[in-house]
Amino acid sequence: MFYLFDKDGNTATFCPDYDRLFDMFATAEKEVTETDADSAEVTKTVKCLPDGYSIKEYDGYIEPGMLYLDDAGEVKERVFVVDEAEEAARAKALALSELDTQYAADKQELSAQYLDAAMSGDTDTMDAIKQELAALNAKYDADYAELNK
Instruction: Please say if the pLDDT value at position 125 is more than 90.
Output: yes
For the segment 27-62, what is each residue's pLDDT rounded down to a tens digit? 878 887 888 777 778 888 888 888 888 888 888 777
What is the SS3 assignment for 41?
strand
Question: What's the CA gap between 145 and 142, in Å, rounded?
Answer: 5
SS (H, E, C) 71-129: CCCCEEECCCCCCHHHHHHHHHHHHHHHHHHHHHHHHHHHHHHHHHHHHCCCHHHHHHH
Q: For residues 111-123, give the mean pLDDT.
A: 95
Instruction: Please say if the pLDDT value at position 98 is more than 90.
Output: yes
